[in-house]
Chain A
Amino acid sequence: MHHNGNEEGDDAIAIAARDDIDAFAPLYERYAGPIYRWMYRETGDVDAANDLTAQVFAQALQNLHRYQPRQSSSFRSWLFTIARNLLRDSWRRYRPTSLPLHLVDHRPGPEDLAIHRTEMDEIRATFALLPERQREIVELRLSGLSIREIAEIQGTSESAVKMAQTRAFKTLRAHLNEGVVR
């Protein structure tokens, strides 16, 4: 795998953080946002998303000694695997609250806020139409992961990820508003 600068830096930070938790802070700054937003899209709830994000990083910190930098893997894929597993494990506690497309929430409030709230609902409801694996691929792509990293996380081949991604975007194109995913 061709690591970019960030990924090489990730490994060094992760190794240093085994003995000094505070050394992990740059990795938190780098990845907390994408993970939080993924959790938010899955749960539709700020508190749940914050809680899950905290758990992801707590799990990562607790298991740093298990992370072994390898040529075929990356810290990022390892971290997002934790997020994915925790999300699955927490599913029953944080049941999604997104609505079907025809029941999109039009709660009152500033007009622009209402518009974006509807947009978020639409995004979440559309993602919910995807089978789990396809949705994971979309979420991980949105979080910046490569096809190869996703294949590592899902334990499958890159070609299988590409195929599932193609199917996922076909579904998204069919359901999201025109101009969103052309």
Chain B
Amino acid sequence: MTDHELNELKHRVEGAHRAFPGAYAPAADVWQRARSQVSSNQKREEPIMSMTPTYSIPSTAGRINTGRNSNGLSRFVSMAATLAIVGVLAFGGWFAATNLPPNDGQQLALVQATPTAAMSCDVESLTVDEVMLIVKNPYAYFTTYVDSITHPQKELFELPYRPTAFEFEMGERTKPAEDDFNAALAAAETYLDCLPTATWGQLWALSDPFWVQYRILTQFPVFATEAEVEQYVTSTIDQPLATDHNPVDDVFALLEGQSISVNPDIDDAKTIWPGGWSGSLQPIIEFGIQVTDDSGQIVVKIDSEGNYEEWQPGSSRQRPRILVGQSMTSGEWFVIPWSASFWMGLEY
């Protein structure tokens, strides 16, 4: 882009603002409103947890010492099937209308109200230190799992503070490789099985670190101190997922008498975003879901693009999907939870 292009765009944008009443400058009282909000007793001396690169993160060497990171890349490749992580895409919300509270426009995640015996969660929770590391720099979190980083954007892993940067590019959707599909499917199933009984620490362990950072920081106003964040993490990490706070976007919808599972047909899954996700996850595989009733009949079955393969009258008309990505450095599979607030650039 040249300066000329930028100036031309500026000119047009400013012109559009000037032409529309109220769109160019703030109202006359905005300064006074800002001024009046200032209270001298709100000053705090602690460092802040913001998106500004003001942090020196603690060295990861020797600090995080759990079984999860002790054996480097090979361990995490082999762990893909057991610790794999999946994201629920509640894109537009999805629910069985007769069982769920009114949809007020918020996103809904699907979780079974009564877990079956097969639904348990033995995923190792993250520690508070691990979560704090993610909050400070998700990339640095990845580096705890590998002996050396050969990532083409190595610099991203070494920055003192890495703010959230969700980046991907659309591209051709392709059929996933069978090995990737199987690992990602196992991850997706682990995630769905975990949701009804998981703690937040377990959920975070199954989720894309970028989403974990985003989710935690957005619990606060613009600024939060490191102590405040750590206090929140400490108080939350062992708590079960509350019914009024889902991991996707604040509403935890429960299904009664129906089972949710991942659409297991490889022809219904797709590898998306060939450029990866935020320079950290690749490949990314998107699954549809299926819902079965008490009799075992599939009442809803959706492919990765949201197309219905099965739909019984009275069932949901929404189209949830599940997104799973593999760490480009550790080989671990992570959920990329999908919500309107997370996908700021898309939800228009």
Contact = CB atoms under 8 A, between A and B. Distances in A.
Nearest to B31: A28
B16 interface: yes
Interface in A127-164: 128, 130-135, 138, 141-142, 152-157, 160, 164
8 contacts: A37-B14, A53-B30, A53-B34, A54-B33, A120-B16, A128-B345, A131-B346, A172-B9
B165 A154 contact: yes
A157 B166 contact: no
A78 B168 CA distance: 26
B37 A55 contact: yes
Contact of B345 (A55, A123, A135, A154): A135
Main secondary structure of the interface of B (DSSP, over half): loop
Contacts of B341: 91-92
Nearest to B30: A54
Interface stretch (B38-46, B109-117, B176-184, B320-328): B38-46
A156 B27 contact: no
A57 B165 contact: no
B26 A32 contact: yes
Given A131-B168, A133-B167, A85 B26 contact: no
B223 interface: yes
Given A55-B34, A95-B347, A131-B168, 13 more contacts: A36-B30, A46-B22, A54-B31, A54-B37, A81-B52, A82-B50, A119-B15, A132-B343, A142-B6, A142-B9, A152-B52, A154-B165, A155-B51
Interface of A: 21, 25, 28, 32-33, 36-37, 40-41, 46, 49-50, 53-59, 61-63, 65-66, 78, 81-82, 84-86, 88-89, 91-92, 95-96, 98-100, 112-113, 115-117, 119-120, 123, 125, 128, 130-135, 138, 141-142, 152-157, 160, 164-167, 169, 172, 180-182
Interface string B18-36: 0110111111001101110
A169 B13 contact: no
A142 B33 CA distance: 25
A112 B18 CA distance: 12
Contacts of A37: 13-14, 17, 23-24
Contact of A63 (B1, B12, B48, B166): B48
B172 to A, nearest CB: 17
B157 to A, nearest CB: 12
A125 B223 CA distance: 30
A46 B23 contact: yes
B9 A181 contact: yes
A84 B223 CA distance: 12
Interface size of B as a range: 35 or more
B222 A85 contact: yes
A138 B23 CA distance: 18
Nearest 10 Cβ contacts at the A-B interface: A116-B19, A57-B34, A58-B37, A132-B345, A54-B33, A155-B163, A128-B348, A36-B26, A46-B22, A120-B16
B344 interface: yes
A33 B165 contact: no
B39 to A, nearest CB: 7
Contacts of A81: 50-52
A155 B1 contact: no
Contact of A117 (B20, B42, B51): B20
Contacts of A32: 25-26, 30-31
B53 interface: yes
B137 to A, nearest CB: 8
Nearest to A180: B12
A180 B155 contact: no
A28 B53 contact: no
Given A116-B16, A120-B23, A91 B348 contact: no
Contacts of A153: 51-52, 163
B8 A160 contact: no
A37 B12 CA distance: 13
B315 interface: no
B5 A119 contact: no
Contact of B34 (A54, A117, A165): A54
Contacts of B30: 32, 36, 50, 53-54, 57
B158 to A, nearest CB: 10
Contacts of A66: 48
